[in-house]
Homo-oligomer: A and B are copies of this chain.
Amino acid sequence: MTTDALVLDAAAQDLLFREAHTANTFTDEPVSEEQVKAIYDLIKYGPTAFNQTPLRIVLVRSAEGRERLVQHMSDGNKAKTAAAPLVAILAADNEFHEELPTLFPHFPQAKDVFFSERAVREGAAALNASLQAAYFIIGIRAAGLAAGPMTGFDAEGINKEFFGDGDHSVLTVVNIGKPAEDAFYPRSPRLSYDEVVTTV
């Protein structure tokens, strides 16, 4: 490890990356509104193109909402989605450009100059909301909680069930809570630096 080349302190490195794992089971301890607000108030500053911040979040807190969600999850994800203290649906808003005059005030024309085409918006929203989904996962860990992000679900079903406007695309569904003792699988291998990075 070459941690001495980093400025971030070792405890923070461990909390966010080195000791953090995707959780599959959780304790019963609830996740409060205050915690989710603190997470959002931290990660909202993460960068996106044109400051477009297209991520939208649905917190599934009611029993009825949980049922509506679980029916769209893959079989292997149903039980843990039903049992997690809190579940968040993370989606891209494909009509994010409507907010650009507020979010990108020094060039409000960006809304029309760059994003008049729906296909362009969908591509930008997918990329930038995915960046924000990663910031959100980091934020969950920053709150001392564990994240269990999942991509096994009927995306079309979730889009219709929870948005219904045809303008949102679910990216991931994230279980959130304090990890139970058996929450983690063993760490899987990672690619080496030389397998991922080339220099020209």
Residues of A within 8 A of B (CB): 1-9, 11-13, 15-18, 20, 22, 32, 34-47, 49, 51, 53, 55-62, 64-65, 68, 99, 102-106, 124, 126-127, 130-135, 137-138, 141-144, 147, 149-151, 162, 171-172, 185, 187-191, 193, 196-200
Contacts and interface: CB of A to CB of B under 8 A. Distances in A.
Q: How many copies does the complex hold?
A: 2
A200 B9 contact: no
Given A8-B16, A8-B42, A130-B130, 6 more contacts: A5-B143, A6-B143, A53-B196, A58-B200, A61-B200, A103-B189
A172 B137 CA distance: 20
Contacts of A7: 15, 142-144
Given A102-B189, A105-B189, A8 B142 contact: yes
A42 B4 CA distance: 11
Contacts of A51: 188-190
A199 B66 CA distance: 11
A59 B200 contact: yes
Nearest to A130: B130
Contacts of A44: 190-191, 196
Contacts of A2: 34, 37-38, 41
B18 A42 contact: yes
A40 B6 CA distance: 11
A196 B193 CA distance: 36
A168 to B, nearest CB: 11
